Amino acid sequence: MKELEREQRHFDNDENHGMTEKEVQEFIAQTKIKTVESIYFGKNWVECWYFTPLPSEFMVKCLYICDFCLFFCVHKKELVRHSRICSIRHPPGDEFYRDGNIAFFEVDGSIQRVYCENLSFVSRMFLDHKNLYNSIEAFLFYILCEVKEDGYHYVGYFSKEKVRDANASNNLSCIMVMPFCQRTGYGKILIEMSYALSMIEGKPGGPERPLSDLGHRTYVSFWTRRVVGVLLELIDSPTETISIFNIKELTGMTEDDIKYILENQKILRRDTLNCDR
């Protein structure tokens, strides 16, 4: 019943990601039973939150998953056997960022299909229907790992569409942090990276809409800190002017998101802010 209520809450609050009301009701009917109750992942037992459309042989009470290569199995002894022969110690892509014990890898869905499909299965266990992938190949996956002595352990990721409409500004399609790593600041690190990549591309961006309630609160908190931080920098600068253009350049955020935060925080004063640049 809890799952049904949780799904219903999402449907009540969001725009259902293009699903018709009939499709929404069918989805609720199909997903009220959780396929897998828990997973053993990187020496952590984790209770699953949502229905996951796994192949039938994996519809079991508990799944065992290698947190290096995301191999799935249904018996603990299989995972023990796998761990003895699995030589993979990091996600199958390029490591492009390292800070202390934190590392990011970029994984291309069209090149590392199996890894990305397994990643998608894991994320579906903890994310609602809005984050299902129709086409893995169309996405890049940015994998956040904790670096330990024995390798790079998966803790979360965000995805991003490779080819985006010229007018689209999405810099993040889906984001998840493993439940045993929540409240560690990893969600913020993932969002920061999505904006850092937008700034490298020279294209302001933001998350794909609609946002869940939790996503909205997370982003408002992130945007507020980012905009206020940049405003303080601009106020201290003898040469820079305060304008939405400058805030956009310094944050990588879209004009709409900046204006939303300035109004939300009651900072926007049109007599002092140059909105035309």
Instruction: State the minimum distance, in angstroms, from the CB of residue 72 to Zn ion.
Output: 10
Distance CA 185, CA 98 (A): 16
Interacting span for Zn ion (CB under 5 A) from 6-14, 67-75, 112-120, 226-234: 67-75
Decide: is 142 part of the binding site for Zn ion (CB under 5 A). Answer: no
Return the residue of 28, 74, 86, 220 that touches Zn ion, per CB under 5 A. Answer: 86
User: Encoding tokens for residue 59?
Assistant: 């519809």
Return the residue of 69, 140, 174, 244 that touches Zn ion, per CB under 5 A. Answer: 69
Return the residue of 27, 50, 64, 71 that touches Zn ion, per CB under 5 A. Answer: 71
Decide: is 234 part of the binding site for Zn ion (CB under 5 A). Answer: no
Decide: is 60 part of the binding site for Zn ion (CB under 5 A). Answer: no
Decide: is 66 part of the binding site for Zn ion (CB under 5 A). Answer: yes
Instruction: State the minimum distance, in angstroms, from the CB of residue 208 to Zn ion.
Output: 30
Nearer to Zn ion among residue 71 and residue 139 (C-beta) = 71
Q: Scan residues 97-136 and list those touching Zn ion (CB under 5 A).
A: none
Nearest CA among 240, 243, 171, 241 for reference residue 200: 171
The answer to whether the CB of 231 falls within 8 A of the CB of 267 is yes
Instruction: Show which residues are catalytic.
Output: 208
Distance CA 232, CA 223 (A): 14
The answer to whether the CB of 179 falls within 8 A of the CB of 189 is no
Instruction: State the minimum distance, in angstroms, from the CB of residue 118 to Zn ion.
Output: 10
Interacting span for Zn ion (CB under 5 A) from 6-14, 18-26, 60-68, 92-100: 60-68
Question: Measuring CA to CA, how many Å separate 221 from each of 6, 85, 180, 188?
Answer: 23, 44, 22, 10
For residue 210, whether the previous peptide bond is cis, meaning omega lies within 30 degrees of 0, is yes
Interacting span for Zn ion (CB under 5 A) from 29-37, 70-78, 117-125, 256-264: 70-78
The answer to whether the CB of 200 falls within 8 A of the CB of 175 is no
Return the residue of 50, 51, 68, 72 that touches Zn ion, per CB under 5 A. Answer: 68
Interacting span for Zn ion (CB under 5 A) from 8-16, 17-25, 82-90, 245-253: 82-90
Instruction: State the minimum distance, in angstroms, from the CB of residue 266 to Zn ion.
Output: 51
User: Encoding tokens for residue 17?
Assistant: 């990601």
Instruction: State the minimum distance, in angstroms, from the CB of residue 147 to Zn ion.
Output: 17
Q: Which long-range contacts (CB under 8 A, 24 or more apart) does 242-250 make?
A: 242/272, 242/273, 242/274, 243/273, 243/274, 243/275, 243/277, 244/273, 244/274, 244/275, 244/277, 245/274, 245/277, 246/277, 248/204
Return residues touching Zn ion (CB under 5 A).
66, 68-69, 71, 86
